[in-house]
Structures are given as C-alpha cells and as structure tokens.
C-alpha cells in the first residue's frame, strides 16, 4: 500500500504545485492550497490512476462516504477503495 | 507594429497627445456637417463617440495584427491542408488553420486544463489589444468596463475530444472541467477575470454574424454611456473532426479554395482564430492621450425572417442602409466594404445585389473585398478578424484583396479588388456579416 500512498501524494502535490516532501498526512486540503475545483480535479486524477470510482459529491462533501478532512484520510479512503477492487 | 509602438510610447507620449488632439479637431469638423453639432466626445443628441484604441488577433495569416496586415497586403493565402486527428476521414481537407499551435508557449498547465482553444485564441488576441491600448483596469474603470464576445460553437474541440472519449473509446469518466471549458461564455469570463472587468459581460451566438453582433453591442454600450471601455470581438476554433464533418453535411464547402465573387467559386472554407478590440469612450481616450485607431460610428442588425440557410437580398440591403443611417453616413462617403463574401454561390450574388441596391450608382465606385479568401471563414470570429481589414483600409490606405479570383461573375459585377491589394484613401467603411438563420449585422467605421 505504500505504493498507492506515494502515487496519491504525487497527484495531490502536482495539483498544489508543491514538492511531495512538503505534504504531511495531517494537512487539510485547504492547508495544502487546493480549492474546490482543484479537489474535483484531484479526485478525477485519482480515479484515473487507480481505475476506481470515488463516491464524492461536491455539493455535500461532508456527507460523502469519502473522507476528505485531511491528506491522511484521503489516502486511507483510496487505499480502501483500491483493496476492495482487488 | 505593436512592438514598435510599445517602444515609442514613453518617449513620445507628449507629442502623441498633441497629435491625437489635432485628429479630434478634424474628426469633429467632419462630423459637424453630418450631425449639426459635435461637442468634444459627444454627439448633439448626448450619445458618446466610440474610439477603437487597441486591436489584437491570431488567425491563419499570423499571430498578431502586424503579420496579419502584412499577409493581407501581400494577398497571401493562409488556407492549406488541415492537420488534426482523423482528417483522413473527412471529404473536406483544407482550412485556414493556425499552424503548429502549442498552447504551452502562451499558457501554464493550470490554464491549459481550463482553456479550450477558442478561449486560448481569445486571451492571446486580447493581450495584444489591451497592451496596445495602454489601459489598466483599476478602480472605477474596472467597474465600468466589460466584455462582449461572439462565438458560434464555443469549446467545440472540448465537445469533440470528450465525445470521442465516451462514445468511441467507451470510457465512462470525463475530466471535471469539460463544462467550464466548452461553455460559449468561457472566453468572455476568462477575459473579465484576466483584466478585472466588472461591468456588463456576455457572449452572443449568431453563427457567422456573432462577432459583428458582439461589436455592435459593445459599440452601443459605450455610445450610451453604459460602459467606458468594452473588450469585444470574437473567437472560433471549430477545426476538429466533428466541426468540419458537421459542415461537410451541408455541402457548401469547397475542397480546393475559397474564391469569393469569382464565377468559378465552389464554396466556403473554414478558418479559426480570434480578433479582439478595445472600444473606448472617446473623451476617455482623448483625455489619456491614447492613439485612436478608428472611430466606430454606426451599427445595424436585422432578421430576414425567411429561411434558415438561404440569405435574403432585402434583409442584407436593409441592414447596410440602416447602418449608414445610424452612422449619419451618406452612401457616397463609403470607400470600402469588407464583404461577408463566403465564396458560396448563394451568398456572393445575394450580397452583391444588396450592395448594388443600397448604394445605387455609387456601388460601381466603392471597393468590396472578401478577406475570407485568405484567412478562411472564422464563423463566429470572422467579423472580428475582418474588422482588421477595415482598420487597415482607414489607417494605412491599403485595401485587402479578394484572392483566388479567376473569372468575373455577371451576378457579382462590383469592384472586388481581385487578387492584389490596392492603395486607396478611404474615410468611411462598412463590415458586413450575414449569418445562417438570416441574422444580419453591419458595422460602420470612420477614419480618425
């Protein structure tokens, strides 16, 4: 799963135009500097990268099954989706 | 041209103000005979005068105004073999395409992911126009300035690419920015954001007359005082498989060349690109010592209310006549008309009949050319690129030719400036646009 984690960090870092080393799991999407449109684009990139479908609705992100409260929670949620697919 | 002007600006700003003041006086004098009275930048009826203080373009002839004017002077053809995916499946394989387009040269990755090609063209042309105008939209000016643009198809490349993704490739997911990229108002919105234009802003879609309608709206907004400055013009980027395939269906496309008014003409040829202008309140432009390129003096629009594709000579004639009335311009004053001149059998003879009726004997004395023969038909962006030819005629005394002209057509018996540009002094010009759907829009300009 480290590989999945690294690939997610790579996607998020690219979106925020940061070095992956600057990202910490406890950081929120806002702290990383990604706006709502950037978040939707990141989720699209994650879906493409892992060939999964992320249950995320931009209208009510807090109600989604997909926890986006921090980078760490996103990584955990994606890892879960990837393992379910396998 | 713009680079030279830019370089000259700081050193010559004093002299330039003086020169512009002199021009205002002569223009006022000219207008006095027509309107009775013009006080500074206002007409006697209280309407404001409208100056063009910036222009920019990208099209098959060049990526700026200087190179486009050069090509028009030389009568160079920008139409050639189309180069994009699946072109081999098309019956029509030529167009006025912007060659070797690499958006990375002008935009960063975040911008490219949001900008369809029609938006990219718009922003590039606007950079040139705004830079030339020397305007900075801060404070009050930003609040009183806006954007009105024309486009027929908006983000056609984005539609095309994503339809291919879901239909042909069978994928079930598209990029989240598909909608903000393809929407017809995307270019308008990005322009407003780029320059902080907070005033009235919108996009009009009237097929081949879109740009003329947009510029007519911008003119009326500045003239009425609803805006101080309007960025206006139009853009089109329809040269992709789906865009050309759709046009093929109508069977009005030429497979070899666009030859407006020639007896041998066999159809239109599509082009792509953008033209953007800065329309500015005359008093505002004079007060800041701006170089005024031309004055917008009249506009008319109408509907044929007849047929969805066939043009009506009466509709065209009515619009031409009303544009001159709106401009307080006598027909004998018009030295040049940039024709709609699509190179189709129907348009060219209809347009010539309309001009002949509207101008009477003077129709034989004026020049009328179609620059579509060089840059192709930019559909919703075409009027904007063609307004450049009008400004070149007024400012430089060079009339852009109708190239590809082979044989006179008795139904198009006007001086169409065949094949070679001509030097001529003209003081007043018209630009015609007669769209599918019978929607007509004609703009009138005067020399400054």
**pLDDT tens figures, B9-67:** 333 333 333 333 444 444 444 444 444 455 667 888 889 999 999 999 999 999 999 99
Q: Which residues of A touch B177 (CB under 8 A)?
A: 37, 41
Instruction: Supply the pLDDT for residue A59.
Output: 84
Strand ranges in B184-249 using DSSP code E only, listed in sequence order: 201-204, 229-236
Q: Are the beta carbons of B177 and A41 separated by less than 8 Å?
A: yes
- Whole-prediction pTM value? 0.90
pLDDT in tens, B269-289: 999 999 999 999 999 999 999
Strands B334-338, B428-435: pairing is: parallel
Dig out the tokens for B390 from the structure.
């009008």
Instruction: Supply the pLDDT for residue B42.
Output: 83
Q: Return phi, psi of residue B401, to 5°.
A: -85, 170
ipTM for this model: 0.84
Instruction: Supply the pLDDT for residue A2.
Output: 76
Alpha carbon B270 to its chain centroid, in Å, reads 15
**CATH number reported for the structural domain that contains residue B107 in this entry:** 3.40.47.10
pLDDT at B260 over 50: yes
**Do B248 and B340 lie in a common domain?**
no
Confidence at B334, pLDDT banded by 50, 70, 90: very high
Q: Are the beta carbons of A44 and B113 separated by less than 8 Å?
A: no
Q: Return phi, psi of residue B313, to 5°.
A: -65, -35
Helices B186-195/B117-133 angle, 10° precision:
40
DSSP 3-state assignment of B361? helix
Q: Residue B432: in which H helix or E strand, if any?
A: strand B428-435
Q: Which residues of A touch B176 (CB under 8 A)?
A: 37, 40-41, 43-44
Q: Has residue B25 been placed in a domain? A: no
Q: Are the beta carbons of A44 and B175 separated by less than 8 Å?
A: yes
**Do B279 and B167 lie in a common domain?**
yes
Residue where one domain finishes, among candidates B288, B311, B333: B288
**Chain A closest-CA separation from residue B63 CA (Å):** 30
Q: Are the beta carbons of B173 and A44 separated by less than 8 Å?
A: yes
Best of A37, A42, A47, A48 to disrupt the B interface by mutation (most B CBs within 10 Å)? A37
**Do B275 and B306 lie in a common domain?**
no
A57 interfaces chain B, CB cutoff of 8 Å: no
Residue where one domain finishes, among candidates B288, B307, B340: B288
Average pLDDT of chain B, as a whole number: 92
- How many Å apart are CA A25 and CA B401, to the nearest integer? 65
pLDDT in tens, A1-40: 679 999 999 999 999 999 999 999 999 999 999 998 899 9
Instruction: Supply the pLDDT for residue B21.
Output: 41
The residue whose two tokens read 């239109």 is: B268
pLDDT at B106 over 60: yes
Instruction: Supply the pLDDT for residue B77.
Output: 98
**Do B211 and B263 lie in a common domain?**
yes
- Domain span at residue B393 reads 295-446
Instruction: Supply the pLDDT for residue B90.
Output: 98
Phi-psi region of B437 (alpha: psi -120 to 50; beta: other; left: phi over 0): left
A35 interfaces chain B, CB cutoff of 8 Å: no
Average of pLDDT values for B371-385?
Answer: 98
A44 interfaces chain B, CB cutoff of 8 Å: yes
B175 interfaces chain A, CB cutoff of 8 Å: yes
Active-site amino acid positions of B: 208, 340, 377
Helices (H), A17-70: 29-32, 36-50
Say how many CB pairs under 8 Å bridge A and B: 14
A49 interfaces chain B, CB cutoff of 8 Å: no
Tell me how many domains chain B contains. 2
**Do B236 and B152 lie in a common domain?**
yes
Instruction: Supply the pLDDT for residue B16.
Output: 38
Share above pLDDT 70 across residues of chain B, in percent, rounded to a whole number: 91
B111 interfaces chain A, CB cutoff of 8 Å: no
Dig out the tokens for B237 from the structure.
């980027």
pLDDT in tens, B190-213: 999 999 999 999 999 999 999 999
Residue where one domain finishes, among candidates B288, B316, B344: B288
Cα distances (angstroms) measured from residue B82 to each of A37, B208, B404: 35, 21, 19
First vs last Cα of chain A: how many Å apart?
Answer: 12
Q: Are the beta carbons of B175 and A47 separated by less than 8 Å?
A: no
- How many Å apart are CA B229 and CA B354, to the nearest integer? 33
Q: Which fold has domain A2-85?
A: 1.10.1200
Give the CA angle between residues B164, B168, B171 to the nearest 5°.
Answer: 85
């Amino acid at each position: 799963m480290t590989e999945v984690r690294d690939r997610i960090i790579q996607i998020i870092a690219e979106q925020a135009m940061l070095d992956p080393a600057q990202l910490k799991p406890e950081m929120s999407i806002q702290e990383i500097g990604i706006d709502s449109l950037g978040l939707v684009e990141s989720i699209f990139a994650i879906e493409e990268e892992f060939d999964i479908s992320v249950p995320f609705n931009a209208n009510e992100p807090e109600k989604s099954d997909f926890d986006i409260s921090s980078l760490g929670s996103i990584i955990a949620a994606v890892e879960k989706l990837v393992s379910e697919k396998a | 041209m713009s680079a030279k002007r830019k370089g000259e600006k700081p050193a010559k700003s004093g002299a330039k103000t003086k020169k512009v003041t002199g021009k205002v006086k002569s223009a006022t004098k000219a207008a006095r005979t027509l309107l009775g009275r013009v006080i500074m930048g206002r007409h006697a009826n209280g309407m404001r005068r409208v100056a063009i203080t910036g222009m920019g373009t990208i099209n098959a002839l060049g990526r700026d105004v200087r190179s486009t004017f050069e090509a028009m002077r030389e009568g160079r053809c920008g139409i050639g073999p189309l180069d994009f995916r699946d072109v081999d499946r098309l019956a029509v394989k030529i167009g006025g395409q912007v060659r070797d387009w690499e958006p990375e040269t002008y935009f960063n990755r975040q911008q490219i992911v949001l900008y369809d090609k029609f938006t990219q063209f718009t922003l590039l042309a606007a950079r040139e126009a705004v830079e030339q105008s020397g305007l900075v939209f801060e404070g009050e000016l930003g609040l009183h300035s806006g954007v009105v643009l024309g486009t027929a198809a908006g983000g056609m490349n984005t539609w095309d690419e994503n339809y291919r993704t879901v239909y042909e490739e069978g994928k079930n997911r598209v990029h989240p920015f598909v909608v903000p990229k393809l929407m017809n108002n995307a270019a308008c919105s990005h322009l407003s954001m780029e320059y902080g234009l907070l005033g009235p802003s919108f996009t009009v879609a009237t097929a081949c007359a879109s740009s003329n309608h947009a510029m007519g709206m911008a003119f009326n907004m500045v003239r009425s005082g609803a805006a101080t400055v309007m960025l206006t013009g139009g853009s089109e980027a329809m040269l992709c498989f789906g865009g050309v395939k759709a046009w093929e269906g109508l069977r009005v496309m030429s497979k070899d060349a666009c030859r407006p008014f020639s007896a041998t003409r066999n159809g239109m040829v599509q082009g792509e690109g953008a033209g953007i202008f800065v329309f500015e309140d005359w008093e505002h432009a004079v007060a800041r010592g701006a170089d005024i390129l031309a004055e917008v003096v009249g506009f008319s629009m109408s509907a044929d209310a007849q047929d969805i594709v066939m043009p009506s000579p009466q509709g065209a004639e009515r619009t031409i006549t009303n544009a001159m009335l709106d401009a307080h311009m006598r027909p004998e004053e018009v030295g040049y008309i940039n024709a709609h001149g699509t190179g189709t059998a129907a348009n060219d003879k209809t347009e010539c009949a309309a001009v002949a009726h509207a101008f009477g004997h003077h129709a034989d004395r004026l020049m009328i050319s179609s620059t579509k023969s060089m840059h192709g038909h930019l559909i919703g962006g075409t009027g904007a690129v063609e307004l450049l030819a009008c400004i070149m005629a007024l400012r430089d005394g060079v009339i852009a030719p109708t190239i590809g002209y082979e044989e006179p057509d008795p139904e198009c018996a006007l001086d169409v400036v065949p094949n070679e540009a001509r030097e001529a002094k003209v003081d007043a010009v018209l630009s015609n646009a007669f769209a599918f759907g019978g929607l007509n829009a004609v703009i009138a300009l005067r020399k400054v």
